[in-house]
Structure 1
């Protein structure tokens, strides 16, 4: 199979959605060279690094051994598929091979409509699925799934280590049921949860007035229409407030991310100038910088961004951009810490490779990979009895994650999942303090 095009689709979520496509010429196939010394496959004119022939021979030897001696016959296509998946398996948790059906599912997710239960997942090396976040108003959310839950079996079958798309086991026709066995922090025994699949049409933005003059916008995911929906709903809140808001809470708790462009556009709606985010990788095409254009839709009214351990990737981009430009206060718990960008490379057979190609950096020049964003005001989660929750949920807890520049230890400094309205009340209190400070006359 050849790469049909090198298409940098910037994906910023815990499970990654496709975004922008830029066509480039198809690279020419590499040719073998019998050079003296270290024999290698020559790089093609795109600069692809050479591959040692000794490593190719080693692979062929193992391949032939399996074909000739394995206890049962194995099809060539199955062996090659396993080999291709194996190339990506140990790189990091977000690089994966997607067959055609899985690649089409990613497109469906980007459009915000698919059939399933409505949950963002990360497959772990043992084959189990960790819940990054249930999506608002979906069967998964209504069934009580939480960020940090681990799905260990589906329909009574224990999940095994394989490299298929994380969400595939829970997809299915609307109206059908799926039974999940879930391990949850703090419980001695697994939960058994049965959910009826639906057609998931994600409403990524909701809004309401918290108090006269103080608006609230919930951003559940970053999709193609999220930025325009955000602008529309902010304008509606302004109208309700008589033309100008006194302040705005933006809630991105348990928001797993999505399209980078949507996060950038929302930040641009609230910034007069300044950098929003930068991406840097090994290839020049991975390097990009996004800056704000003039025009603040809120006219300088204070902003608070509410985050938690389920706020990942594009959600972290938004929080980091507004905080680093002194445009917003961040309230909640340390965020997930996914500071990497994935590129989707379509293949000529309809499959795709999702490959980590860059890290992203907040305007202060800081990478939050495996660290997350520490809020200005830290809120603590409590269990039903009022006892504090022991946090363990972060990018740093994923096996094989990319190392951060100044990485927090997994399970020690991880954030907490903040469910419930009381955290909105805390964000509103912080917003009122900011509004009072802004309104106070200077001396």
Structure 2
């Protein structure tokens, strides 16, 4: 029987990649590796007499193909193709090995280049390189379009997760990315040496009695780390908080709700999910930072759960939003575990801010637009946020 993983994730990331047929269609376990297998020997075909194209292709492949067939790979490939045909870049099937990678990513530790990826206007783009990551050190930038990986062109029929799997690999190995920088037309090749990526989650710096909290992601431990920092801040009696969500690609929805709860009154709407049904996610408990002035900083690399948090603080307590328009990843994915160790990441809903604004493809618009000048050492966005508190 299908087991529902207790995770609802909002990821442009990207780095997630499912054997979706559950107990009725156990494709992995049912097929024999034989070129003479009959059509009726496949439970999927036996139970689904209307699936003539699948049956014909499966049978003819085994009758005519001169090479060796791995029925296990054929089954997973068929399921992956079915999921891909849904036409949603964030709905993806993961075989058992890919599922293991997915769970490593969600735990906040994996091996790769350290860049979150997403889909925009049909292209695979970099949402944000992680601070101090191999990608950042090599020159990968927010907004870069990934044109090729190791000289293999990225085609429009490739899913986000397929591209991410090509980019990831063992520590110490080099991957060559052909990228088109924002505003450019010609690709450039950038070599990146893969390394272990431990995703930092929460950072705190107190300056002029103003707490500068940087959220790098929303992983398994982010909410707990944030709660500890919130208690420190309350004891220090700071004048205000600058919440820095720049280049934060998102992560767990639950983490964003728990963090928002530290600022909001119990029962306040943080975000609503609208899919087959509508679910309202509300603030509960917490409230450690309630009443402390807060300014939020975002940019185009702020996505998913970061946009949820920014929208919740804007709509509920009129927190000023400083920076540039966020990415606009407004769909909700749920990870379903299958009995064979594979998984399905499926888009189940769109999300809306408390005021009813959809963020999908539009992003969160700043109340105070400030562009960061890359030609200067000054952080114009952060400076403006501090001035809002002072």
TM category (shorter chain) comes to 0.7 to 0.9
Q: Is the 8 A contact 2:352 2:359 kept in 1?
A: yes
Structure 1 residue aligned with 2:13:
15
Residues 215 and 88 of structure 1: is their aligned pair in 2 closer, same or farther, counting only changes over 3 Å?
same
Change over 3 Å in CA distance of 1:306–1:204 after alignment to 2:
same
Partner of residue 178 from structure 2, selected from 156, 176, 181: 181
Query: Which residue is equivalent to 1:47?
Result: none
Q: CA distance change for structure 1 residues 188 and 362 in 2, over 3 Å: closer, same or farther?
A: closer
Q: Is the 2:273–2:351 contact (alpha carbons within 8 Å) kept by the matching residues of 1?
A: yes
Q: C-alpha distance in 2, partners of 1:78/1:199?
A: 29
Deviation at 1:153, TM superposition (A): 2.7
State the match for 2:113 in structure 1.
Answer: 117
1:248 maps to 2:270: no
Partner of 1:94: 90
Check the 8 A contact 2:215/2:248 in 1, yes or no: yes
**What's 1:60 paired with?**
55
CA distance in 1, matches of 2:72, 2:105: 28
| 1:358 equivalenced with 2:352 (yes/no) | no
In the superposition, relative to structure 1, how do residues 224 and 236 fare at CA in structure 2: closer, same or farther (>3 Å)? same
Q: Which residue of the partner structure matches residue 136 of structure 1? A: 131
Q: Secondary structure at the match of 1:81?
A: helix
- The alignment's TM-score, normalised by the length of structure 1, stands at 0.73
In 1, Cα distance between the equivalents of 2:253 and 2:163? Answer: 21
Question: Does the Cα contact within 8 Å between 2:149 and 2:178 map onto a contact in 1?
Answer: yes
Could you say which residue in structure 1 is the equivalent of 2:140? 145
Report the Cα offset of residue 276 of structure 1.
1.3
1:154 corresponds to: 149
2:361 to 354, 367, 370: 370
Equivalent in the alignment of 1:297: 288
Shift of 1:171: 2.3
Query: How far 1:424 moved relative to its partner?
Result: 0.8
* Distance of 2:240 and 2:145 partners within structure 1: 37
Partner of 2:387: 429
Higher-strand-fraction structure: 2
- Aligned equivalent of 2:299: 308
Conserved 8 A contact 1:249-1:428: yes
Distance across 1 between alignment mates of 2:228 and 2:129: 25
Greater relative contact order, per chain length (Cα 8 Å cut-off, separation 6+): 2
For residues 70 and 27 of structure 1, the distance between their equivalents in structure 2, rounded to whole angstroms, comes to 29
Deviations 1:247-277 (A, max 9, x none): 1111111111001111111100111231112
Query: Any conservation in 1 of the 2:336–2:343 contact (CA below 8 Å)?
Result: yes
2:252 to 259, 262, 269: 259
Change beyond 3 A, Cα 1:27–1:175: closer
Matched, 1:341 2:341: no
Tell whether the 8 Å contact from 1:244 to 1:298 is kept in structure 2 after alignment: no
For residue 237 of structure 1, report the CA deviation from its aligned partner: 4.2
Instruction: Assess if the C-alpha contact under 8 Å between 2:372 and 2:381 holds in 1.
Output: no
- State how far apart, in whole Å, the 1-side matches of 2:240 and 2:328 are: 27
Matched, 1:325 2:316: yes
Tell me, what secondary structure is at the counterpart of 2:262?
Answer: helix
**Displacement after TM superposition at 1:244 (Å):** 1.3
Q: Match of 1:207?
A: 204
How big is the shift at 1:88? Answer: 2.0
Question: C-alpha displacement at 1:234, in angstroms?
Answer: 3.5
Q: CA offset at residue 74 of structure 1?
A: 5.4
| Structure 1: unaligned runs, 5 residues or longer | 19-25, 31-50, 387-418, 433-443
State TM-score, norm by structure 2: 0.82
Q: Report the 3-state secondary structure (helix = DSSP H, G, I; strand = E; otherwise coil) of the residue aligned with 2:212.
A: strand
Distance 1:353 1:299 in 2: 38
CA, structure 1 residues 295+28, in 2 after alignment: closer, same or farther (shift >3 Å)? closer
* 2:3 match: secondary structure: coil
Evaluate the alpha carbon distance shift between residue 123 and residue 361 of structure 1 in structure 2; reply closer, same or farther with a 3 A threshold.
closer
Distance 1:179 1:350 in 2: 31
May I ask how many residue pairs the two structures share in their alignment?
361
Cα distance in 1 for residues equivalent to 2:169 and 2:78: 28
How much has 1:216 moved relative to structure 2?
Answer: 0.6
Question: Does structure 1 conserve the Cα–Cα contact (< 8 Å) formed by 2:14 and 2:118?
Answer: no
CA RMSD of aligned residues (A): 3.0
Partners of 1:301 and 1:351 in 2: CA distance: 45
Structure 2 residue 101 is the aligned partner of structure 1 residue 108: no
